[in-house]
Structure formats: structure tokens, C-alpha cells
């Protein structure tokens, strides 16, 4: 297949973008590239392969073949504007942060408790139906741009109604799609140069002529609606973060993560200190037994995955009225916008609605409508996880903590031994469970008392979460590494 020098046509006076009507450059999993080439040899050229990634020159036909693989999720490839950018993307990258996620703590019990009680599934349902009502949010359609502008207006109205002068909402225009993205920023009161971000994509797709009917209720109106409920609750509780918090609604995820890739690259080029990024893409289809599935692909952050598990073990355990059950899954290469942040060296995670083999079979079709799920109860659980993540990572100064906080537990790991000591409490520790980043319990100890040691000889190298339970059923969690 000959390379076509003119990949995309821009009409400068009108800004019209003819998306992927010509072959284009991209990156994808090397094995997927080989298999796709076997199936469609005239429609994909593998330019180079490094670190299990391939830079490719691919046709629209081959892109749709990847996109329709529901188990892979998302496009399965990442759009690149040139051969040079595709080749550069498969080179190793240095991390942008120095494992700051491991320093995240859990001590905002009162603030989190107040926020969780305010989550309203009806608000999420209303927002999903509103986004579904555009008919299609395919990135070249006028309705896609309008959905972003309307979301910006809604977010601004929410901030204004809450009397917030520390909040701004901006539109981000893109080079490789006519559809813009929307970004809400809550400026940090003490450390404004440190960022924590939750994002999702607002575009939808149903490849072929059906892109005129692409409701995208689950993929990804559910994620954007969940994020909007997180914002609403934060405003209702007058949450003022110490770190800067951002919420993002990305354009053109469905054609190769275009919007998020441009924004993440801009942040990286400007050395923006993003401590953690979490993606909400599909939050409402109850396809599997558990509520949340943490994705464990190689580019995801083990540190951040461990922290999300720590949050759920602490705030959403089986004895909590806000219980969230969780498991793990894998979504493969470039499956959603968190890949853009990981690809630029940031810590990124992607909690998903189901095991990918059991995820919503209606996505990328005209049948991705809200009535498939029937309620927003599941998405409300993602909103609770999002609130926990934001409140605990961004922090605030004017909050009290529970009677028994993590600060009451001295905890040291050295020489394959865990040493613990419970301070300032009449309670005692009844048991401890150690959980790995796949969510599996790998060690359990009982009758711990107030202090003691536990051997870690059975554990391999990696990241873990220790969950201590007291006799009065309080939870204390600690992250640690076995070297």
C-alpha cells in the first residue's frame, strides 16, 4: 500500500475536517497489527515495531475492523497526525512524576461521608438522557460540537449557582477534529500547580451510515453524566481543594483518542504536574457480578490502581452502606483516554463497568440507549468512587477526620516483614488482609492486637494494599511495596 502524502483535507476558511477518509498514521498493539494485516493486507502497513507497539499506516476500513472489536473496547488504536509522531510515540518515555501516588493518604472521612450521602442517581439518568437526545455525537456532526458547548454552559451555571469564583470552564479546540473538548478547573487553594483529573469522552459512534444515529448512552454519556454528578456534589458540600482539580469531556475518542491525546501532550510539553488521572468511560451497564472493574493493562499505573482499591476497601467495604464490589479486567491497547495520559508519562487508571468480555454489547451501534440499563444505580457507585478519589487526593484544610484514622497506625515494611503499631486507641486490631493490584487477597493474618509483625516472605515483588480491621469493625488501609 502506497503512503498517501495528503492524509487529511482542511478547508481553512470554514474549519471543515474530513476525518479519516484517507489512510492515516496510528499506533497499536503489535500483535493486533500483525493479525489485522493478515486479515486486510491491502489496508494496513506496519512501519516499525518497538516495545510491543507498532506504528502503522492504516485505512478507514481497517480502523473500523479494529473499532468493532467490543472486547478490545474503544478504537484499539491511537491516531497520529504524521509518520514522525507515530514513530516517536512507540519510543520509551520517562515518567512525568516521581511515584507521588504512593504518598496519597486517606483521612477525609467526614467530607467523604457527607458527599457519598448526596449522590443522586436520578441526576445521572437525566444527564444521560440529555446527551442521548442529541441523536449522534459523532465528532464531525454539528450536534457533537453543540453537546460540548451545552455541557460547558451547564458546568458554568452549576459553578455560578454555587457562588464559586475559583472555578473556570474552557473550550479546547483541536487540530485533528472539528469537535472541541470541555475542561472545568477548580483552582487549588494551597498547591495550585499540582493537578488531579477525572475525564471521559463525550463523542459517540456507530460506524457507517449509522453515525447519524449514535446515541452513545453508555459509551460514554454515562461517564460524562457521572462526572457531572461528582461536580454537583462537590459544589453542594462547598469543597475547596488544596490541589487543582480538573474535569474533562474529550472530543473524538472514538477515532483514536484525538482530543485527549492533544490535551495530554500539551500538558506534558508544558510540564504540568498531573499527579493522577482517572478515566470514566462506560459506568452504567451491569454486565458482570461486581460493581467496578479496575483495568490492569501494562500502561496503567499499579500505584494508582492500588490507591483506588484502597479507597474502596476503606469506604466501600461489605459493612458500608455505600458498598462497592470490585474486580479486575484488561481492555488492551489504546482502549480509552487514560492511555493518552499514560502515554505522556502520567499515572493513569481506568475503573470500568464490567469485565470486558461481558461489557455492553450495544456500544458503537444505534442500540446504545439508556433503556438497556434502565436506571443509573451502577453509575452512582462510580460517582461515589470519583468523589472519594477527588476529596482524598486534592484534600482540604477545614475538615475533621474520624475517631480512628490511618494516622493512628504506625506501619513499616522492611526485610520482608511488616511491623505495625496501633496508637491512641482503646480498640485492637482483629485481622489484616493483603490485596495485590489485581484485587486478589494474597495474605491474611488474625488476632493482631495493638502491635506486632507479619512475615511477607510469601509475597512476590510488587504493590500491595494492607487492610486492617479492628474489633469494632473500623478499617485502616496502607499501601506498600515489596522489593
Single out the catalytic residue among 125, 218, 262, 281.
281
Q: What is the crossing angle of helices 377-394 and 121-132, to 10°? A: 110
Phi/psi of residue 60, nearest 5 degrees: -60, -35
Given 364, 368, 388, 436, which residue is catalytic? 364
Catalytic: 253? yes
322 is catalytic: no
For residue 349, cis peptide bond before it (omega within 30 degrees of 0): no
- Point out the catalytic residue in the list 43, 125, 253, 368: 253
Task: Tell me if 294 sits within 8 A of 313, measured CB to CB.
Answer: no
User: Can 64 be counted among the known catalytic residues?
Assistant: no
User: Rounded to whole angstroms, how far apart are CA atoms 292 and 151?
Assistant: 26
To the query of whether residue 254 is one of the catalytic residues in this protein, the response is: yes
The catalytically annotated residue of 43, 219, 313, 337 is 219
Could you give the strand order of the β-sheet that contains 292-295, starting from the edge strand earlier in sequence? Answer: 326-329, 292-295, 351-352
Rounded to the nearest angstrom, the gap between the alpha carbon of residue 370 and the centroid of all alpha carbons in its chain is 21
Give the rounded distance of the alpha carbon of 98 from its chain centre.
20
Cell representation of residue 462: 510488587
219 is catalytic: yes
Are the beta carbons of 448 and 430 closer than 8 angstroms?
yes
254, 291, 313, 347: the catalytic one is 254
CB 338 within 8 A of CB 277: yes
Q: Which residues contact 185 (CB under 8 A, 6 or more apart)?
A: 167, 168, 169, 170, 244, 245, 246
Catalytic residue among 67, 73, 201, 338: 201
Euclidean distance between CA atoms 227 and 393, whole angstroms: 16
Question: Catalytic residue numbers?
Answer: 201, 219, 253-254, 281, 364
Amino acid at each position: 500500500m502506497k503512503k498517501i502524502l495528503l492524509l487529511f483535507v482542511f478547508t481553512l476558511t470554514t474549519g471543515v475536517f474530513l476525518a479519516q477518509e484517507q489512510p492515516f498514521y496510528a499506533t497499536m498493539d503489535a500483535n493486533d497489527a500483525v493479525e489485522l494485516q493478515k486479515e486486510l493486507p491491502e489496508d494496513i502497513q506496519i512501519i516499525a515495531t518497538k516495545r510491543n507497539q507498532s506504528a502503522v499506516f492504516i485505512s478507514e476500513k481497517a480502523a473500523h475492523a479494529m473499532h468493532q472489536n467490543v472486547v478490545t473496547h474503544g478504537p484499539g488504536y491511537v491516531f497520529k497526525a504524521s509518520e514522525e509522531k507515530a514513530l516517536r510515540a512507540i519510543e520509551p518515555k520517562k515518567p512525568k512524576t516521581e511515584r507521588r501516588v504512593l504518598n496519597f493518604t486517606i483521612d477525609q472521612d467526614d467530607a467523604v461521608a457527607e458527599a457519598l450521602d448526596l449522590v443522586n442517581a436520578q441526576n445521572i439518568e437525566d444527564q444521560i438522557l440529555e446527551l442521548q437526545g442529541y441523536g449522534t455525537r459523532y465528532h464531525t456532526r454539528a450536534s457533537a460540537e453543540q453537546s460540548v458547548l451545552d455541557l460547558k454552559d451547564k458546568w458554568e451555571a452549576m459553578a455560578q449557582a454555587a457562588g464559586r469564583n475559583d472555578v473556570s470552564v474552557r473550550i479546547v479546540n483541536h487540530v485533528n477534529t472539528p469537535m472541541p473538548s470541555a475542561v472545568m478547573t477548580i483552582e487549588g487553594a494551597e498547591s495550585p500547580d499540582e493537578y488531579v483529573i477525572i475525564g471521559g469522552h463525550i463523542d459517540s459512534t456507530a460506524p457507517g451510515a449509522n453515525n447519524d444515529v449514535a446515541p452513545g448512552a453508555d459509551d460514554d454519556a454515562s461517564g460524562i453524566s457521572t462526572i457531572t454528578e461528582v461536580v454537583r456534589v462537590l459544589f453542594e458540600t462547598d469543597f475547596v481543594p488544596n490541589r487543582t482539580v480538573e474535569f474533562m469531556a474529550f472530543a473524538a475518542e472514538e477515532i483514536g483518542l484525538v482530543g485527549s491525546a492533544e490535551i495530554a501532550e500539551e500538558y506534558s510539553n508544558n510540564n504540568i504536574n498531573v499527579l493522577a488521572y482517572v478515566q470514566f468511560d462506560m459506568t452504567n451497564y451491569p454486565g458482570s457480578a461486581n460493581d467496578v472493574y479496575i483495568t490492569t493493562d501494562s500502561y496503567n499505573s499499579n500505584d494508582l490502581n492500588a490507591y483506588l482499591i484502597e479507597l474502596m476497601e476503606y469506604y466501600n467495604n461489605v459493612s458500608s452502606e455505600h458498598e462497592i464490589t470490585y474486580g479486575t479486567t484488561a481492555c488492551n491497547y489504546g482502549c480509552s483516554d487514560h492511555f493518552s495520559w499514560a502515554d505522556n508519562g502520567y499515572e493513569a487508571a481506568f475503573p470500568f463497568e464490567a469485565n470486558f468480555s461481558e461489557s455492553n454489547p450495544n456500544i458503537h451501534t444505534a442500540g446504545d440507549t439508556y433503556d438497556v440499563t434502565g436506571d443509573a444505580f451502577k453509575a452512582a457507585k462510580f460517582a461515589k468512587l470519583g468523589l472519594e478519589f477527588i476529596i482524598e487526593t486534592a484534600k482540604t484544610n477545614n475538615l475533621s477526620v474520624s475517631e480512628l484514622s490511618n494516622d493512628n497506625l504506625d506501619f513499616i515494611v522492611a526485610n520482608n516483614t511488616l511491623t505495625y503499631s496501633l496508637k491512641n486507641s482503646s480498640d485492637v486490631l482483629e485481622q489484616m488482609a493483603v490485596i495485590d493490584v489485581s484485587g486478589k487477597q494474597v495474605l491474611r493474618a488474625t488476632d493482631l492486637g495493638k502491635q506486632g509483625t507479619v512475615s511477607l516472605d510469601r509475597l512476590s515483588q510488587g504493590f500491595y494494599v494492607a487492610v486492617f480491621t479492628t474489633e469494632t469493625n473500623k478499617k485502616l488501609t496502607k499501601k506498600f511495596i515489596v522489593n
